[in-house]
Amino acid sequence: MTDHPASLTFSAELKNLAALRYFVKQGTADLGACQRDIEDLVLAVDEATTNIILHGYRGEPGTVEIELQREGEFLLVRLRDKAPTFDPAAFPPPDLTIPIDQRPLGGMGIHLMREMVDEIHHRARSQGGNELTLVKRMCSETNFQEGQNEDQH
C-alpha cells in the first residue's frame, strides 16, 4: 500500500514548529500510525527541522517542505530545504560514556532523531539544499499495548 503524500511548505522560523508538530501528528495518525510512532516522529521531525532552521539557514530566510507518506508498513517523512548541504546521517554519534558536563555541545538532537526512527537518509538536491528522509516501521497497536503491559510488571 502506498498512500499519496501529504505535504506542507512553511517559512524556516522557530515560531512555525508548533504548526509543524500538529501537521506531523495529524498526518501520521491519518496514515494509520500508532500513538508511539506518532510521538517518535513528531520528536524526530521537530529536532530535524530545528536543526535546519538554526544551523542550516542560520537566521536567514528560507523554506522547509515536509512530506508524509506511507509505503506498506513504513512511514516516510521527507524534509526538503535550500540550506547549505549537511548530512546528519554522517554526523558521528555522541560518546555517552563521557559525563554530561564534560561533553562537547551539540549532536544530541541528531542522536535523538536516530533513536526515534529506524532509518535516516540524506541526499544533496541537484538544485541546492537537502532532502532528509526519516523512515519509521509502523507498530501495531496490539504489539505496542502488549509491550506496555510487560513494562508495567
Domain count, the chain: 1
One-letter amino acid of 104:
P
pTM: 0.84
3-state secondary structure of 1: coil
In tens, the pLDDT along 72-95 reads 999 999 999 999 999 888 877 777
d(CA 35, CA 88): 26
- pLDDT at residue 146, rounded to an integer: 44
Q: At what angle do helices 35-51 and 17-30 cross, to 10 degrees?
A: 150
Is 25 a domain residue? yes
Is 106 a domain residue? yes
Is 113 a domain residue? yes
Is 97 a domain residue? yes
Is 1 a domain residue? no
Q: What end-to-end distance do the CA atoms of the chain give, in Å?
A: 36
Task: Give the neighbor-by-neighbor strand order of the sheet with 74-81.
Answer: 6-11, 63-71, 74-81, 130-137, 119-124
Name the residue with cell 532552521. Answer: 53
The domain in which residue 126 lies consists of: 6-151
Range list of H helices, the chain: 17-30, 35-51, 108-116, 141-151
Is 145 a domain residue? yes
Is 58 a domain residue? yes
CATH code of the domain in which 114 resides: 3.30.565.10
More confident residue, 106 or 152: 106
